[in-house]
Amino acid sequence: MNPLHDLATQALLGSERRPPVLTPLPGAVDDLLDAASPSETALEIRVLRRAGVLAACADAGYVPAAGGAEPPPLCEAESLLAATDPQWRAALVEIFQDGPDLLQREALRQLAEYGAVLPPKILPLALTAASKTPALQALLRPVLGQRGRWLARFNPDWAYALSGDDAELDFSLWERGTLEARKAFLRQLRRRDPAAARTTLETALTELDARERLTLLEQLSVNLDASDEDFLENRLTDRGKEVRGLVANLLARLPDSRHVARMIARLAPCLRQERKLLRQHWVIEPPSAFGADWKADAIEETRAKSESLGERAWWLYQIARALPLAWWSERLALSPAELIGWAKKSDWSEALLRAWHDALTRERNPVWAAAFLGETKLPGLTVDPFALIDHLPPAERESYWLRLLNKSARRSGVGEWLGRISQSGTPCSAEFARQVLQHVRATVASDAGKWDYSLRQALPDFICLMPVALLDETLQHWPVEPEAQYFSETLARLIAIAERRKTLYRPPTSRNPS
């Protein structure tokens, strides 16, 4: 036993109650202690001297513990280039400490583009960032390199880095995981083997509550096709109202499904042609009674209290929204814009417009999106123009955004406007970026800019979406007017982000010998 431990154990109770017994120590220490403590020395002082000497000896004679476990295995040598040159490394540190998200994505993409991997120093930051933002994971995997995969083994939070798309799926996550884990599992399985995922879900259905059914059924939207139809048909009568709605919506995504055919059969009788001023006109009239077999297709007979539609319009809306948009164009031989015009004049405009908007959200049809955007007023319907613009091909979005900006004409909403654009993550053209920044500069110099905090938040993201070649031109010569002092910190951040982006477009080299 360690003599100091022994002494301490004896000293716990106190010398008044139990005087410690000083057993002789081996070697020179004992001689020293004897010499230092003549026989008349108080016991307490003897104990203290002994402890002091032993502690000093223990300090000087420290022996490291023998390691219990195997040391970590040596990481294999990297065959790819590690971006360890000082500029890249400094930029990557800033990017992963400071964001923004878009820049992290760009950095990972650019590294992959150059066939390079992250330098070791950045790996913990990047692995942690991606464990919190799963969208980064697929981008991170290719640039982890040997070192990154080696490192990820030591931290359970980073396990995602090792389970690539081809890795074995961990079935225990499905059996014992949280809802979130089960969802992720099902989604991955669905990507690889849609039928197996469906069967897995089907077997488990009876033990799931409504919320779980809703969350997990939603994952079938990945790789949805006709082979899912029978399963979904059976779920149309689910006990949960929300679940039934979800299932109906999934079936509506299969234009040839029996569900869609039944809905078409219900809607067709509502349409008829009338002759008016020598021309044929289409007229729509909602069903007058709730059909006996409708419930089986997840059509709800009664409305919610907050529903603005009347009873018959409510039925019409539910039927109409299940139909593919193409069906309407074909049946009525009208373009989307003409259809919207026709609906607006009808008595049932709200039901029709809402139904089509639902279908548009499902189908992401750019022609219909443009048609909706072309309308200034849509009765009974509030549309989010930014969501509609996102359905358009990227090249067409900018002109619509500018139109929104000019329409508002106020400077106050610029931050919110820019925030929505940045959110879409669409890289923008040089011309668009120039116009936006011109507008921002004018706003910053005005009072409106001062109070527009969202502008200062949106700009860093926007800088990430601008063409790299434009960065110098637009930012370097931005004057800092005395009245725009409040903006200088933001501007410094924008310039810093621009510099980091420029670094990302220079091929990285391995560490410079310093």
Check residue 52 for interaction with another protein (CB under 8 A): yes
Beta carbon nearer to another protein, 109 or 493: 493
Cα angle for residues 394, 399, 405 (degrees, 5° grid): 120
Pairing of strands 271-276, 279-284: antiparallel
Check residue 218 for interaction with another protein (CB under 8 A): no
Q: Which of residues 109-168 bind another protein (CB under 8 A)?
A: 120-121, 123-124, 147, 150-151, 154-155
Query: Residue from 159, 268, 333, 480 that binds another protein (CB under 8 A)?
Result: 480
Query: Residue from 31, 42, 272, 374 that binds another protein (CB under 8 A)?
Result: 42
Beta carbon nearer to another protein, 370 or 496: 496
Contact 207, 198 (CB under 8 A): no
Check residue 479 for interaction with another protein (CB under 8 A): yes
Query: Residue from 22, 32, 53, 448 that binds another protein (CB under 8 A)?
Result: 53
Contact 244, 237 (CB under 8 A): yes
**Interhelix angle 311-320/349-363, nearest 10 degrees:** 30
Query: Residue from 22, 29, 36, 381 that binds another protein (CB under 8 A)?
Result: 36
Check residue 27 for interaction with another protein (CB under 8 A): no
Q: How far is the CB of 257 from another protein (least distance, A)?
A: 51
Among candidate residues 327, 214, 220, 310, the one with its CA nearest the CA of residue 263: 327
Q: How far is the CB of 249 from another protein (least distance, A)?
A: 44
Contact 71, 103 (CB under 8 A): no
Residue type, 159: A
CA distance 245 to 243: 5
Q: How far is the CB of 142 from another protein (least distance, A)?
A: 18
Query: For residue 82, what is the enclosing H or E element?
Result: strand 81-82
Contact 415, 456 (CB under 8 A): yes
Among candidate residues 248, 242, 178, 252, the one with its CA nearest the CA of residue 213: 242
Q: How far is the CB of 460 from another protein (least distance, A)?
A: 13
Q: Which of residues 459-478 bind another protein (CB under 8 A)?
A: 476-478
Length of the chain: 514
Check residue 23 for interaction with another protein (CB under 8 A): no
Q: How far is the CB of 510 from another protein (least distance, A)?
A: 12
Check residue 7 for interaction with another protein (CB under 8 A): yes
Check residue 453 for interaction with another protein (CB under 8 A): no
**How far is the first Cα of the chain from the last one, in angstroms, to the nearest whole number?**
52
Beta carbon nearer to another protein, 302 or 485: 485
**Which residue is listed with tokens 């000087």?**
60
Q: How far is the CB of 514 from another protein (least distance, A)?
A: 6
Q: How far is the CB of 455 from another protein (least distance, A)?
A: 17
Pairing of strands 81-82, 116-117: parallel
Check residue 22 for interaction with another protein (CB under 8 A): no
- In whole angstroms, how far apart are CA 329 and each of 294, 336, 371? 25, 7, 13
Q: Which of residues 336-395 bind another protein (CB under 8 A)?
A: none
Query: Residue from 23, 34, 58, 196 that binds another protein (CB under 8 A)?
Result: 58
Contact 141, 113 (CB under 8 A): no
Beta carbon nearer to another protein, 24 or 73: 73
CA distance 189 to 183: 10
Q: How far is the CB of 117 from another protein (least distance, A)?
A: 12
Among candidate residues 29, 36, 31, 35, the one with its CA nearest the CA of residue 3: 29
Query: Residue from 307, 330, 384, 489 that binds another protein (CB under 8 A)?
Result: 489
Backbone angles phi, psi at 273, to 5 degrees: -105, 140
Site string for another protein, 63-102 (x = CB under 8 A): xxxxxxx-xxxxx----------x---x--xx--------
Beta-bridged to residue 82, according to DSSP, are: 117
Check residue 495 for interaction with another protein (CB under 8 A): yes
Q: How far is the CB of 349 from another protein (least distance, A)?
A: 53
Check residue 237 for interaction with another protein (CB under 8 A): no
**Which residue is listed with tokens 């991606």?**
130
Q: How far is the CB of 433 from another protein (least distance, A)?
A: 20
Q: How far is the CB of 180 from another protein (least distance, A)?
A: 24
Check residue 12 for interaction with another protein (CB under 8 A): yes
Pairing of strands 279-284, 116-117: unpaired
CA distance 421 to 463: 12
Check residue 30 for interaction with another protein (CB under 8 A): no
